[in-house]
Amino acid sequence: MNFIKTITSIAIVSALSLSVADYVHAAGKKAQEDKESPSSWLSLSKKELKAVEKYAENYKDYIYKAPTELTFVTETIKRVEKQGFKKLSEKSNLKPGARFYDVNRDRTISLIVIGKKGLEQGTRIVGAHIDSPRLELKGRPLYEKEKFALFQTYIHGGIKTYQWVNIPLALVGRVDKKDGSVVNISVGFDENDPIFMVPDLAPHVDHGNRKRTSREVIKKEELDVIIAAKPALDESVKELMTNFLKTEYDISLEDLVSAELALVPATKPRDVGFDRSMIAAYGQDDKASAIAAVTAIMEQKIPEYTSIAYLVDNEEVGNINNTGASSTYLVDLLSGLLYNKKGDSYNDYQLRKVLRNTKVISADVNPGVNPTWSSVWELGNAPRLGNGVNLKLYGGGFNANSEYMAWTRNYLDNSKIKWQTSTYKGKASGGTIGSDLSNDNMEVIDFGVPILSIHSPYAVGSKVDLYSLYKAMSAFYQQK
């Protein structure tokens, strides 16, 4: 029957002036696109299914408490100290199995478990970023218009601006005052807190805006949030807000110049679908990888090689500044560890050996195949939700070398961790911290998991992929 169908199909194609070779090529490509490898869900035992759900519940709690790099570092310290991690110092005893954390300016954190082998034989590093796209307050944000008090904002990372209107936003961050004191602010996460919002135009009155392109439906300068609208008889609403900031937080408008305040979605992570197989949450790019790295390194006892989870700021804006991956912080950290062991015999050549022998996972999420717009992917090389971690093959010199790719495939297969590949179709964009790490002559591979609606206020990931990412990192740390 299949043979008859094939002959009939070939005849039809011939009638359309296509050669049999053209037909075979087209049919083969279609078969490749249609062929889906079995979902990761199908290979899980009952015990593993329970482990996936347990991981998902911890993940939702973690990601909700850590919307920014500042909050991620604070929350992570709380969690790892309960697992025996101590703050690294120059006098720390770096014996095998010792567990430390090191913080760079409150915005980057490294977790370290000392291994059996000497540092010059290399380390195992999982790197991920902990900043996510968001709105931030300008240095002088407060103004009044049409009897509303508003905050002016700008953007951290790439977003579709129209996605950030009409959603509940929380204000979170810190204000640094001239006297050296710090005021931490968090409003909008508790159910009894007020929230903030960028209001949109109603369809009744938006006729003049309907010809705007998708990226200009809402312009960046229109993303200002309403913070108050109740004036007093003798004070404007702006004056009231100025006084409120002073009374409530003891900060002046000038103090906001030295503040880092972000507006992020106030929505809680939720399960998606009748089958509850997915999670919707803000900031899965790239706290999905960061949470997996923390979870994986916390379970390492005495690894063969010193293991590090390097969780860094500012990837969404180009790995810049002294808390981004382009800074010397990570190399400085490795240098400090090596000096701790070598003392006065330390030299730069030894550090270069550490870097040369180090293996790295640069973890970051990828856009997964979207069922409505699947045509933007070349489906034979596209990452699908539920099909495991994805190895990034971008070409153009960005791929890991073939021997490191083979080494990665080997331990993933030996650990029975399902993987797939990810290659963009045509013109696409997206970066990681990988190139900055490879610039220091470390062996680096980029991989992550597929996520829907990346850079939106509420992205969607598969529970089984998130769990697989953690298991892949754990397996990586354990490789000899």
Residue found under tokens 């030894």:
350
Question: Which pLDDT score, from 0 to 100, does residue 428 have?
Answer: 65
Question: Which pLDDT score, from 0 to 100, does residue 429 have?
Answer: 65
The pLDDT tens digits of the residues spanning 99-157 come to 999 999 999 999 999 999 999 999 999 999 999 999 999 999 999 999 999 999 999 99
| CA–CA separation, 246 and 284 (whole Å) | 35
- DSSP 8-class letter at 283: T
Q: Is 227 or 29 the better-scoring residue by pLDDT?
A: 227
The pLDDT tens digits of the residues spanning 352-364 come to 999 999 999 999 9
Residue found under tokens 């003891």:
250
Model confidence band, residue 36 (pLDDT cutoffs 50, 70, 90): low
According to DSSP, the β-strands at 108-113 and 306-312 are antiparallel
Question: Which pLDDT score, from 0 to 100, does residue 427 have?
Answer: 64
The two structure tokens encoding residue 437: 């790490």
| CA–CA separation, 300 and 112 (whole Å) | 10
Question: Which pLDDT score, from 0 to 100, does residue 183 have?
Answer: 98
Q: Is the pLDDT of residue 463 over 80?
A: yes
Q: Is 130 or 11 the better-scoring residue by pLDDT?
A: 130
Rounded (5°) CA angle 282-248-262: 25
Q: Which of 48, 36, 49, 52 is nearest to 466 (CA)?
A: 52
Distances (CA, A) of 116 to 97, 98, 167, 174, 413: 8, 10, 50, 40, 25
Exposed, middle or buried: residue 428 (CB in 10 Å: 0-12, 13-18, 19+)?
exposed
Question: Which pLDDT score, from 0 to 100, does residue 195 have?
Answer: 98
**What is the average per-residue pLDDT within 57-61?**
98
Q: Which helix (H) or strand (E) holds 136?
A: strand 134-145
Q: Which of 326, 304, 92, 65 is nearest to 170 (CA)?
A: 65
Question: Which pLDDT score, from 0 to 100, does residue 414 have?
Answer: 97
Q: Is the pLDDT of residue 1 over 90?
A: no
C-beta of residue 479 within 8 angstroms of C-beta of residue 360:
no
**What is the average per-residue pLDDT within 435-452?**
95
| CATH fold for the domain made of 134-265 | Aminopeptidase i, Domain 2 (2.30.250)
- DSSP codes joined into one string, 370-381: PSSSGGGS-GGG
Q: Is 419 or 26 the better-scoring residue by pLDDT?
A: 419
**What is the average per-residue pLDDT within 361-384?**
94
Model confidence band, residue 21 (pLDDT cutoffs 50, 70, 90): very low
Neighbouring residues of 111: CB distance < 8 A, sequence distance ≥ 6: 76, 80, 85, 99, 100, 101, 293, 294, 297, 298, 308, 309, 311
- Domain residue extents for the chain: 41-132+282-477, 134-265
Q: Is the pLDDT of residue 432 over 80?
A: yes
Of the candidate CATH numbers 3.60.21.10, 3.40.630.10, 3.30.70.20, 3.40.50.80, the domain formed by 41-132+282-477 belongs to 3.40.630.10
| CA–CA separation, 35 and 32 (whole Å) | 5
Q: Return mean pLDDT, the chain.
A: 92
Q: Is the pLDDT of residue 9 over 90?
A: no
pTM of the model: 0.91
Question: Which pLDDT score, from 0 to 100, does residue 6 have?
Answer: 43
**What is the average per-residue pLDDT within 204-230?**
94
The number of helix segments (H) and strand segments (E) in the chain equals 11, 20
The pLDDT tens digits of the residues spanning 135-151 come to 999 999 999 999 999 99
The two structure tokens encoding residue 434: 């990988």
Model confidence band, residue 425 (pLDDT cutoffs 50, 70, 90): confident
Q: Is the pLDDT of residue 15 over 50?
A: no
The two structure tokens encoding residue 453: 């609606």
